[in-house]
Copies of this chain bind each other. A is one copy, B any other.
Amino acid sequence: MEVCTVGGYEEVGKNMTAVKIGEDVFLFDMGLNIPGIVELQEEDLLDYASRAKNEGGQKKEVKRRNTQPTEQKLREFGAIPDDRILDKMGWRDKVRAIFISHAHLDHVGAVPYLINRYPRVPIFGSPFTMKFLETILENERVPFNNPLKTVQPNSNHVIKGKSGSYPVDFIHTTHSTLDCVFLALHTPEGVFFYALDLKFDNHPTMGAPPNYKKMKELGKKKVKVLVMDALYSGTEKKPGSETIARQLVEDSIAKVRGSHGALFITTFSSHIERLNSIVEFGKKTGREIIFLGRSLNKYVSVAMDIKKCPFKNDVKLVKYRKQINSTLGRIEKHRDKYIVVCTGHQAEENSILDRIVGGETPFKFREGDNLIFASSIIPVSINIAAREKMDNKLKRLGVRLQKDVHVHGHGSREDMRDLIRMLKPKHIVPSHGTLQQEIPLVEVASEFGYKFGETSHLSSNGKLLHLD
């Protein structure tokens, strides 16, 4: 089996892996890259790309349509996987299918920029993922002729290739958005198993725990290669279930009870489970719940479309800049009547929260207001500095902050051990991180007898692995 580790093997971002069996090639994920950022949402990401080009770094309104990045620019900045390696190896024309694991931009975000290089190749994903992909394709106004194939989690689909037919399992798993799947490609040489992103939550607040039964079944067959999310392979302690985040959300909202100040909650826009918890306990306050911003609106609309948005009648979506401002003006006057949910928890420049704290909107934070961060600081220096500045400003204004109302979405060593135990793969290939983040998984694998350079591997972007 030949595996080309196209992207995501030297960074957190732009995930893409290609597998070749005979004359047939399969692609897994096609994501965007934001250096060092684990989970990123669409709006932030495009802003980032735009800002990166404005070298001066001035703060100005980003005109989206005018700044849409070209493929060339994106490659120059390393923002998309460098799939030209497939041309070089003669693999591009052999691609039979593209599989998307879940709806995060570091897994699906590069599709609009690369899809035309793979004409007519069908793209497969779960309902939430595919609906989200449709949305970003529409937004980017990309013409394309690829069939978009929606597959239910825990179902199977057969892909016909030149050298044979390949059943693919779409295996339900948990992470931090809806409808995440692991992918198992059955080949004559054994199963290629793609486990990005990895987190085993046995107590999710929406949907079922991961489909361990299927994984154990596969483990009894021959799993040849396991490509797996190694991001937290250096961490022993389990991250905790989303149930825990639900409790933390409950407690944090309960503390605000009785306050006559405003209440803002900032979190990840793709995290429907988290948003659901926020709405569930938010409703009990009697305040009206408003979701502010394009990114939130996009993910929530997708969840509604696929009928997986339990809170669809409980929130008001406000999407456009103009509406946002008028809404914020109303909140300024009746601050104890609303809960505002928005993005901006990393204090990203130009995010809604950044603009509010910067005094650029009709709403101004003041003594007695409340802000809950249903997130953690992603530990890169730019975020740490930006949040420190923002938090200090908010504290001086007298805003009550509640931070770290969060559990993150990547499993640690114990989840990796579980997966290895279930699948018993011949080869393990760590992914989804820098080399330093991936190498501890080699150590974990060695506990099970995997030998580095023989059955456990460390790859790099664009490298070809021949795995026997």
Interface residues of A (CB under 8 A from B): 10, 55-56, 58-59, 202-203, 236-238, 240-241, 243-244, 247-248, 250-251, 254-255, 358-359, 381-382, 384-386, 388-389, 395, 402-404, 414, 418, 435-436, 439-440, 442-443, 447, 451-454, 458-460, 463
Rounded to whole Å, the gap between the CB of A429 and the closest CB of chain B is 12
On whether A202 and B435 interact (CB within 8 A), knowing A388-B381, A418-B255, A460-B453, the answer reads no
Rounded to whole Å, the gap between the CB of A173 and the closest CB of chain B is 15
Q: With A and B bound together, what is the CA distance between A395 and B443 in angstroms?
A: 13
Rounded to whole Å, the gap between the CB of A215 and the closest CB of chain B is 13
Contact of A247 among B243, B250, B395 (CB under 8 A): B243
Q: Closest residue to A35 on the B side, CB-wise? A: B392
Integer count of this chain's copies in the complex: 4
Contact of A404 among B202, B237, B243 (CB under 8 A): B237
Rounded to whole Å, the gap between the CB of A184 and the closest CB of chain B is 22
Chain B residues near A463 (CB, 8 Å)?
A: 452-454
**Interface centre among A243, A452, A454, by most B CB within 10 Å?**
A452
Rounded to whole Å, the gap between the CB of A270 and the closest CB of chain B is 23
Q: With A and B bound together, what is the CA distance between A55 and B55 in angstroms?
A: 21
Contact of A439 among B55, B255, B403, B439 (CB under 8 A): B439
Q: With A and B bound together, what is the CA distance between A244 and B440 in angstroms?
A: 26
Q: With A and B bound together, what is the CA distance between A251 and B417 in angstroms?
A: 14
Rounded to whole Å, the gap between the CB of A111 and the closest CB of chain B is 27
On whether A236 and B404 interact (CB within 8 A), knowing A241-B247, A244-B244, the answer reads yes
Chain B residues near A203 (CB, 8 Å)?
A: 247
Q: Report whether B436 and A440 are in contact in the complex, using a CB–CB cutoff of 8 Å.
A: yes
Q: With A and B bound together, what is the CA distance between A384 and B458 in angstroms?
A: 30
Q: With A and B bound together, what is the CA distance between A10 and B454 in angstroms?
A: 14
Q: Report whether B414 and A402 are in contact in the complex, using a CB–CB cutoff of 8 Å.
A: yes
Q: With A and B bound together, what is the CA distance between A10 and B439 in angstroms?
A: 12
Chain B residues near A358 (CB, 8 Å)?
A: 56
Contact of A238 among B202, B248, B382 (CB under 8 A): B248
Q: With A and B bound together, what is the CA distance between A10 and B388 in angstroms?
A: 19
The 6 closest A-B pairs by CB, nearest first: A385-B385, A452-B460, A381-B385, A237-B404, A453-B463, A381-B388
Chain B residues near A453 (CB, 8 Å)?
A: 459-460, 463
Q: Report whether B452 and A435 are in contact in the complex, using a CB–CB cutoff of 8 Å.
A: yes
Q: Closest residue to A382 on the B side, CB-wise? A: B385
Q: Report whether A10 and B452 are in contact in the complex, using a CB–CB cutoff of 8 Å.
A: yes
Q: With A and B bound together, what is the CA distance between A402 and B412 in angstroms?
A: 12
Q: Report whether A403 and B435 are in contact in the complex, using a CB–CB cutoff of 8 Å.
A: no
Q: Closest residue to A414 on the B side, CB-wise? A: B402
Q: Report whether A240 and B236 are in contact in the complex, using a CB–CB cutoff of 8 Å.
A: no
Q: With A and B bound together, what is the CA distance between A361 and B38 in angstroms?
A: 37
Q: Closest residue to A234 on the B side, CB-wise? A: B436
Q: With A and B bound together, what is the CA distance between A453 and B438 in angstroms?
A: 15
Rounded to whole Å, the gap between the CB of A467 and the closest CB of chain B is 14
Q: With A and B bound together, what is the CA distance between A244 and B243 in angstroms?
A: 8
Chain B residues near A10 (CB, 8 Å)?
A: 452
Q: Report whether B247 and A202 are in contact in the complex, using a CB–CB cutoff of 8 Å.
A: yes
Q: With A and B bound together, what is the CA distance between A244 and B245 in angstroms?
A: 10
Q: Report whether B436 and A403 are in contact in the complex, using a CB–CB cutoff of 8 Å.
A: no
